[in-house]
Amino acid sequence: MSVLESGPVSDALIITWRNLKRIPRIPELAIFAVLQSIMFVLLFAYVFGGAIPLPGGGSYNEFLMPGIFVQTIAFASATTAIGVADDMGKGLIDRFRSLPMARSAVLTGRTVADVIYQAGILVVLMLAGLVVGWRVNNGFAKFMFAVVLLLAFAYVMAWIGVWIGLSVPNTETAQQLTFVTIFPLTFISNVFVPPASLPAVLQPIAEWNPVSTLTASCRELFGNPNPTIGTAFPSQHPIEVTIIWAIVLIAIFAPLAVRKYRNTSR
């Protein structure tokens, strides 16, 4: 018998399968996720963008798109949180916990499925980006490196989403809680504006914000305009800082989520 027939890997695959099955069954979810991002693209590319000068010049749309990718992935944690809260509320988590399956599988299956889902959304957004003038200028290897960073970040965000989903009483709270935490995170960053244009008090936050470091990494790897705030460490080494962020965040939130799942008693 292979590992795919039974055991933790097989269990996680089944849960992944189950979570992916629902995507075509609720197409609204994916459609609205993409539409929301495209709305931001249109809003910033054609409404505000003209008023935002980039230090050092370059195309605002090229500057914008990596930020949109990161923002979309950050907001995806809400989808995860809502899904988990929904499973809790419907008693499905209890059902899983009463089965002789690997307990880790429910969470790994969920997070892996959400990363696959995000990869699909990313493809659509990149195509949309090409339409508004975004380009990949540094070759395939660096492009793939950026994609890997984006998906790694998606995985981290999925774990944060799982933890939130297990911690809140219902889906409404899951949605609101992720929104109020992610929204400031994406705006006090370099996603829409060059960080130097932010008020001085917010600049250190924007510099160290993982959303900013990931966005800066992508801009660097794609070869898009990447205005930074002087010589601060995260601006100089965005990729290293991003990787450290990913490791730190997952080291915090994965155990928190697993503990919450073990002790959940609703």
Partner 1 sequence: MSNAIEAEQLVKIYKAKRGSQEVRALDGVNLSVPEGTVLGLLGPNGAGKTTTVRILTTLLRPDGGKATVGGFDVVEQSKDVRRIIGLSGQYAAVDENLTGWENLYMFGRLYELPKSETKKRVDELLEQFNLTDAGARTIKTYSGGMRRRLDLAGALIGHPKILFLDEPTTGLDPRSRLAMWDVIRGLVSDGTTLLLTTQYLEEADELADKIAVVDNGTIIAKGTSDELKAQVGGERVEVVLADGSRLAEAATLLEPLSVGEIEREERTRRIVCPSRGGSKKVIAAAQILDDHGIEVEDIALRRPSLDDVFLTLTGRRAEEIDSDDEDGDVA
From 8-16, 32-40, 113-121, 216-224, give the range in contact with partner 1 by CB under 8 A: 8-16
Cα separation, 11 vs 7, whole angstroms: 6
Judged by CB under 8 A, the residue of 27, 57, 231, 266 near partner 1 is 266
Find where tokens 């899951």 sit: 174
11 touches partner 1 by CB under 8 A: yes
26 binding partner 1? (CB under 8 A): yes
Measured from the CB atom, the residue of 106 and 206 that comes closer to partner 1 is 106
Residue 87 beta carbon to partner 1: minimum distance, rounded to whole angstroms: 8
Q: Is 33 in the site for partner 1 (CB under 8 A)?
A: no
CB of 111 to partner 1, least distance (A): 17
Question: 24 or 199: whose CB is closer to partner 1?
Answer: 24
- DSSP SS3 for 200: coil
Residue 265's SS3 state is coil
Closest approach of partner 1 to the CB of residue 34, in Å: 19
Q: Write phi, then psi, for 229 (nearest 5 degrees).
A: -90, 95
* Nearer CB in complex with partner 1: 101/214: 101
Eight-state DSSP code of residue 45: I
Binding residue (CB under 8 A) for partner 1 from 17, 32, 46, 233: 17
Q: Round to whole Å and give the CA distance between 97 and 157.
A: 24
CA proximity to 80, closest of 169, 151, 218, 178: 178
Q: Are the beta carbons of 84 and 223 closer than 8 angstroms?
A: no
Count, residues near partner 1 per rule CB under 8 A: 27
The region of 41-49, 88-96, 175-183, 196-204 touching partner 1 under the rule CB under 8 A is 88-96
Distance in Å, CB of 174 to partner 1, minimum = 17
CB 7 to partner 1: min, Å: 8
Q: Is 5 in the site for partner 1 (CB under 8 A)?
A: yes
Task: Indicate which single residue of 78, 101, 113, 147 sits in contact with partner 1 (rule: CB under 8 A).
Answer: 101
- 18 is an interface residue for partner 1 by CB under 8 A: yes
How far apart CA 92 and CA 84 sit, in angstroms, is: 10
What's at 138, amino acid-wise? Answer: N
Q: At residue 141, what is the residue type?
A: A
How many Cβ atoms from other residues are within 10 Å of residue 112's Cβ? 18
**Total Cβ atoms within 10 A of residue 172:** 11
Residue 23 beta carbon to partner 1: minimum distance, rounded to whole angstroms: 9
Q: Which stretch binds partner 1 (CB under 8 A): 97-105, 113-121, 167-175, 193-201?
A: 97-105
Helix axes 27-42, 60-89, angle to 10 degrees: 150
Chain-centroid distance of CA 218 in Å reads 13
Count of C-beta atoms within a 10 Å radius of residue 202: 14
Residues that bind partner 1 (CB under 8 A): 1, 5-6, 10-11, 14-15, 17-18, 21-22, 25-26, 90-92, 94-101, 105, 265-266
